[in-house]
Amino acid sequence: MSAGGDSLAQRLRLNALLVAGGILLVGVVALAVLAGVLYPEDPFDMVGQPFRPPMSEDFPLGTDSLGRDIAAGIAHGARISLIIGIITALMSTLLGVLVGSIAGYYGGRIDTLLMRTTELFQTIPSFLFAIVVLAVLQPSIYTVIFAIVVVSWAPLARLVRGEVVSLRNREFVLGCVALGMSDLQIIIRQILPNALPSIVVAASVAVASSILFESGLSFLGLGDPNVMSWGLMIGMGRSVIRTAWWVAAVPGVAVLVTVLAINLLGDGLNEALNPRSASNFSGR
Amino acid sequence: MMSTSTATPSESVLEVRGLTTVFESPKSTVVAVNDVSFTVRKGETLAIVGESGSGKSVLAFSIMGLVAAPGRVTAGEILMSGRDLTKLDEEQFRAMRGRDLAIIFQEPSTSLNPLMTVGEQVREVIAEHQPHVLRAEAMKSVIERFRLVGIPAPEQRVHEYPHQLSGGMRQRVMIAMALACGPSLLLADEPTTALDVTVQAQVLNLIDDLKARLGMAVVLITHDLGVVADYADRVLVMYAGRIVEEFAAGQLADGASHPYTLALLNCRPDLAHGLTGVPLQEISGTVPPLDRLPKGCAFADRCERAQDVCRGSQPPMVDLGPGHRAACYFALSKAAEVLA
C-alpha cells in the first residue's frame, strides 16, 4: 500500500508543470480570498483621480476612467472568476458524467438518443450560443453560470461516455454483472472510479475555459453589471486603450495568468494521473 | 436452497433444452449456439470442450444471461430450481446471479477492479445479496472465504489490491467471489488458461475440492483434454455451436466415437511425441464460418469418414450406450470397427 502512495506523491512532486500551475493558482486564490481584507470598499467606488498610471502613489496598478482602483477590481474580480469557473465546471462535469455514463453503460437506443442530443449542443458555436441564452435571459451571475454550463457540458459527456464504454466491456465489470450487482452500484463503485483520472483532467480544463467564457461575456456587456469582473474591466478599458492602456491590459494579464495556471495544473494532472502518457513509462 | 428444488427431477441442478443463441447483424446471422441440450447433476463436473469459436463460451454466457447485443437467446429453456432462466425479467435474474449460479473467467488480471481492495470486492457481492448482513460481519465471512480457497494470511490479503497479488492468487480471489453466496452451480470459463502450468493444477484441485465440500455442480469449459480426463465426470464436445458427442470422462481414452472427438484426441501433444519424433497430428481445414453453416454436418469437410449423406442432412443424435450419445451417421464404437 505504501509503495503505491509514495510513487503517486513522488510523481506529483516531481511534476514541474503541476508545481508552476499550483503556485500561480494559489496566488490567485489568495487574492480572491483576501479581497475583502485588502480592499474592503466597493470596487465600483471612485477613490482617486482618473487615469493614474500604474506604480503611482496609492495605486500600484493605476486607476481607470472613473478613478476606480484597478487593483481592487482585480482582487474582487478574482473572486467572481474563480467562483464562476469552479461552479460551472462542477455543474457541467456532473451533467456530463450523468449523461455520459447512462449513454455508455446502457448503449443501444438510449446511447443514440443521448449522444445525438449531445452532438446537437456541440454543433452550435458555443460562444454565440451563450450570447443567445443570455440575450433571452436577464444577465445575472446565475444566468451566466447557466449559459456557460449549457454550452460546455457536451464534450465532457462524450469523454465520459467513451471511458464508460471501454470499461463496460472489461471483465471485472462483466464479473460484477455476473455476480448480480445492480447497474447503479456498478456504475458508481466500479466504472466511475476507474474513469476518474480523465474526468478530473477534463474538469480542470473546463474551469479555465469557463473563466474565459465569463470574461468574454462580461466584455460584451452580457455579464452581471453589478459584479466587478475582469471581463467587465477589459470592456470598460477598451475605449481608452490608446491613452490609458493599463485599464484594459491589467485585467487582461489577470485572465491570462489564471487560465495559464489552471491549464498547467490540468496538464500536470494529466501527466501524473494518466497511465498512458509517455513520461510515466520510465517509472513503471 | 437445495431443499427448495423439489420440482427438479433426479437431482439435476441445471437443465438446458434446445438452447439457441444467435448474433444478428444486417448482413448476416451467426448461430453461435445451435439447439444445445444437456443436464448438469448435483455434485458433478461437466466439461465442455471444443476449439476456439465452437460456441462454448457463448453457451456459458447464455446460461448466465450475459449475452450482449446483437446476440440473443432465440430458442430453448434453461431450467434451474424449477425456473426457466430465459423467462426471468432482469431484476429476477440479477437476484439469482451470484446467489444460485456464478461464473469465473479466463483472465484473473482483468477480472478484478484495480482500484478496490480484493476483500472489499468480495464483500460487495455479499452485501448485494444479503443486504441485512453488517459490514464487519460480511468482512469476517470474506476472510472465511479467503481461507476456504487457500489464500495464506487472509486477514492481511483482504486489504490488498489486485496488482499486489499473483495470477494464481487473483484467480483464487475470483473463486472466493464466485462462491461468496454459496451458488449451487459454478461455471468456469477456461479458468486456468492464463495461469502457469504449476498453478493450473492448484486452481483445478481447489475447484474440485470445493465442489465436493460445498456440494455444488461445476461446468468446466476448457480446450485442454488433459484437464477433462483429470477433473470431469462427463464431457460434452462442441463443434460449430452444436453438441456432437456426450460421454463419461472415464471413456475418454477409448470410448469416444465421433470423428471430431477422435481428431481432437489425436491433436494432444504429449511428451512421447517430442521424444519419438512422431509429428503432432492436426485437424486439416478450419471451422466453417458460423454465418454460412452447411446444410449437413458442419464437420463433414474435415472428416475422413464423411459420405454424401453427411453433406445432405444434419446427423441426428444417437444413443450409443449409457450416458453416451453422438451426432454422427458413422459414429462407430471401437468394438464395432473391430467386428467390421
Q: Over the stretch A17-51, which tens digit does the pLDDT of each residue have?
A: 888 899 999 999 999 999 888 888 888 888 888 88
Contact A271, A17 (CB under 8 A): yes
What CA–CA distances, in Å, run from A191 to A167, A195, B130, B247? 6, 6, 22, 43
Backbone angles phi, psi at B12, to 5 degrees: -80, 135
pLDDT at B9: 46
No. of helices (H) and no. of strands (E), chain A:
11, 0
Contact B17, B77 (CB under 8 A): yes
Residue with grid cell 434453461, as numbered in its chain: B78
**Are the Cβ atoms of A174 and B160 closer than 8 angstroms?**
no
**Are the Cβ atoms of A171 and B107 closer than 8 angstroms?**
yes
Q: Per residue, what are the HEC states of chain B?
A: CHHHHHHCHHHEEEEEEEEEEEEECCCCEEEEEEEEEEEEECCCEEEEECCCCCCHHHHHHHHHCCCCCCEEEEEEEEEECCEEHHHCCHHHHHHHECCCEEEECCCCCCCCCCCCCHHHHHHHHHHHHCCCCCHHHHHHHHHHHHHHCCCCCHHHHCCCCHHHCCHHHHHHHHHHHHCCCCCCEEEEECCCCCCCHHHHHHHHHHHHHHHHHHCCEEEEEECCHHHHHHHCCEEEEEECCEEEEEEEHHHCCCCCCCHHHHHHHHCCCCHHHHHHCCCCCCCCCCCCCCCCCCCCCCCHHHCCCCCHHHHHCCCCEEEEECCEEEECCCCCCHHHHHHC
pLDDT at B5: 40
3-state secondary structure of A72: helix
Tell me the per-residue pLDDT of B297-327, one tens digit each, with 9 for 90 and over: 888 888 888 888 888 888 888 888 888 888 8
Tell me if chain B has a CB within 8 Å of the CB of A170. yes
Report the residue from B95, B112, B161 with minimal CB separation from A180: B95
In the DSSP assignment, the letter for residue A279 is: G
Residue A278 predicted with pLDDT over 70: no
Tell me if chain B has a CB within 8 Å of the CB of A110. no
A-chain CB neighbours of B120 within 8 Å are none
What angle do helix axes A246-273 and A70-106 make, rounded to 10 degrees?
40
CA distance linking residue A218 with residue B8, whole number of Å: 74
A-chain CB neighbours of B161 within 8 Å are 1, 4
Tell me if chain B has a CB within 8 Å of the CB of A178. yes
Residue A3 predicted with pLDDT over 80: no
3-state secondary structure of A59: strand
Contact B244, B299 (CB under 8 A): yes
Tell me the per-residue pLDDT of B105-130, one tens digit each, with 9 for 90 and over: 887 778 899 889 999 999 988 888 88
Backbone angles phi, psi at B75, to 5 degrees: -155, 160
Would you identify the CATH topology of the domain B2-100+183-339?
Rossmann fold (3.40.50)
Q: Specify the higher pLDDT residue, A279 or B235.
A: B235
Domain layout of chain B by residue ranges: 2-100+183-339
Q: Report the Cα B223 to chain-centroid distance in Å.
A: 10
Indicate the pairing of strand B242-248 with strand B29-41.
unpaired
**Are the Cβ atoms of B128 and A174 closer than 8 angstroms?**
no
pLDDT at A277: 53
Comparing alpha-carbon positions, the chain B residue that sits nearest to A186 is B124
B-chain CB neighbours of A108 within 8 Å are 69
Q: Which domains does chain A have, with CATH numbers?
A: 68-274 (1.10.3720.10)
Three cell numbers written together for B120: 472489499
**Are the Cβ atoms of A180 and B124 closer than 8 angstroms?**
no
- The answer for A 188-207 residues in CB contact with B (under 8 A) is 189-190, 193-194
Tell me the per-residue pLDDT of A145-155, one tens digit each, with 9 for 90 and over: 999 999 999 99
pLDDT at B276: 66
Minimal CA–CA distance to B100: which of B216, B265, B239, B6? B216
First to last CA, chain A: 16
A-chain CB neighbours of B159 within 8 Å are 1
Within 10 Å of residue A239's Cβ, how many Cβ atoms?
A: 12
B interface with A, Cβ–Cβ < 8 A, is: 64, 66, 69, 94-99, 102-103, 105, 107, 110-116, 124-125, 128-129, 159-161, 174, 177-178, 180
**Are the Cβ atoms of A180 and B159 closer than 8 angstroms?**
no
The CA-based angle A109-B96-B104, given to 5 degrees, is 85
Q: Decide: residue A193, CB within 10 A, 0-12 exposed, 13-18 middle, 19+ buried.
A: middle
**Are the Cβ atoms of A179 and B180 closer than 8 angstroms?**
yes
pLDDT at B16: 93
Q: Which residues of chain B have pLDDT under 70?
A: 1-10, 270-278, 332-340
Within 10 Å of residue B105's Cβ, how many Cβ atoms?
A: 24
Tell me the per-residue pLDDT of A169-178, one tens digit each, with 9 for 90 and over: 888 898 888 8
**Are the Cβ atoms of A194 and B178 closer than 8 angstroms?**
no
| Polymer length in residues for chain A | 284
What CA–CA distances, in Å, run from A107 to A146, A183, A230, B93, B126? 28, 13, 43, 20, 28
Q: Decide: residue B53, CB within 10 A, 0-12 exposed, 13-18 middle, 19+ buried.
A: middle
Position B106, amino acid: Q
Within 10 Å of residue B64's Cβ, how many Cβ atoms?
A: 22
Comparing alpha-carbon positions, the chain A residue that sits nearest to B70 is A108
Three cell numbers written together for A27: 496566488
pLDDT at A23: 92
Report the residue from B95, B97, B113 with minimal CB separation from A178: B97
Q: Specify the higher pLDDT residue, A266 or B271.
A: A266
